[in-house]
Amino acid sequence: MKKTFINQEKLTEIVGQYPTPFHLYDEKGIRENVRNLQKAFSWNPGYKEYFAVKATPNPTILQILKEEGCGVDCSSYTELLMSDTVGFTGTDIMFTSNVTPREDFVLARKLNALITLDDITHIDFLEEIAELPETISCRFNPGGDFVIDNAIMDTPQVAKYGFTREQMSEGFKILKSKGVKHFGIHAFLASNTIANEYYPALARILFKTAVELNQETGAHIAFINLSGGVGIPYLPDQEPTDIAEVGRGVQKAFEEILVPAGMGDISIYTELGRFVLGPFGHLVTTALHEKHTHKEYIGLDACAANLMRPAMYGAYHHITVMGKENEPLDHIYDVTGGLCENNDKFAIDRKLPKIDIGDLVVLHDTGAHGFAMGYNYNGKLRSAEVLLKEDGTTELIRRAETPEDYFATLDFSKWNK
């Protein structure tokens, strides 16, 4: 059974200070999780976690991760700006983007970030607008299906990202001829998998590719970026990823493939936004309305604008009714928000205890790709973000939007004469 990282008494106290809905983050859990991740890969002297900023783009969260020795993975101009403001510099920043605007590459080069190219045409594009760096990474897409133990995990062949295998070899030769001295390889082949075998299987593909590219081009492979994809157990009966076991699996592949090839100096990088932050965020809401028609409905004061994943993907987020954790799950509800869209449902036919108006309702696992995917459809305003600090105090790390924020980009002057 999933449990909240905060009890009802403390949460009621916080709600008295910050009106619902808001996203709440657990600093203690975040720090402990990062340390466990780093321990799992401590066998690799150059290991570094580059947190995917897109998962939780908040400077206070980034500062916590910076203090824990993480870098950042950015995919846009504004993520680069935020990371620079927090104090990430140089190779603490990985810039991995696609369909990249000119100004994004220019800023990434100005910050001396590690750049991952998504397409072979980006070599000339980057060179045209900014001098090529001495170290650069290329994103690899092997095509076909990605299979583990005869099970298809994902289908890279339909993904818009990355170089083909032939383009990787050609691209390394071109970059080397233009003065690039050190290379990285990046790949993302499956999303949100809790199988311990995922990273080791991906590592074996990339390690073998690295050996081949070194032999074909003479390029020095400095790092291999396993990127993201390691998931979290959204469902209550799922087992979490054993990150220590994952680390051992990658180490075994490293020692079997890279070390015999004389490439044991390669650094391993990861970009684990969901794994690092996901379980350590709650969307805290209040039951606002109930409706009894063809089904039983509970309406929350949050909506898909606060948490898009259920509406967009049909994704499961566990729900706890605070103070009723031990009561029987003898009611079946659709739990909804107030958007004028029928897919604005956090849960469909979910077994829950009886929910009364005013109950605090917590949606689990919103620490990554929760607030970040928010939007303003129907004029809905994005919620606050609150940090539950290690000492039990709280900090408002993003205030809730106001109507003034929503209207800030509009010019009403011709109506206000």
Q: Is 340 a catalytic residue?
A: yes
Q: Which residues contact 352 (CB under 8 A, 6 or more apart)?
A: 319, 321, 329, 331, 332, 333, 335
How far is Cα 246 from Cα 31, in angstroms, rounded to an integer? 19
CA torsion 140-187-99-108 (nearest 10°) is -110
The two structure tokens encoding residue 2: 């999933």
Residue 125 C-beta-side C-alpha neighbours within 13 Å: 15
- Residue pointed to by tokens 């916080």: 14
Residue 25, burial from CB neighbour count under 10 angstroms (0-12, 13-18, 19+): buried
Task: Tell me the one-letter amino acid at 388.
Answer: L
Question: Residue 215, SS3?
Answer: helix
Which residues are paired to 335 by β-bridges? 298, 347
Which residues are paired to 253 by β-bridges? none
- Residue pointed to by tokens 């063809």: 294
Question: Residue 197, SS3?
Answer: coil
How far is Cα 16 from Cα 265, in angstroms, rounded to an integer? 53
CA torsion 100-105-111-116 (nearest 10°) is 60
Q: Taking Cα atoms as reference points, which of 34, 8, 1, 83 lies closest to residue 367?
A: 34
- Residue pointed to by tokens 């690092």: 276
The two structure tokens encoding residue 416: 């206000």
Helices (H), 178-330: 198-217, 243-253, 273-277, 309-313
Of 70, 138, 303, 340, which one is the catalytic site residue? 340
How far is Cα 236 from Cα 285, in angstroms, rounded to an integer? 20
Angstrom distances, CA of residue 276 to CA of 29, 50, 205: 9, 10, 24
Q: Taking Cα atoms as reference points, which of 302, 326, 373, 329 lies closest to residue 3?
A: 326
Cα 413 to chain centroid, rounded: 40
Active site residues: 340
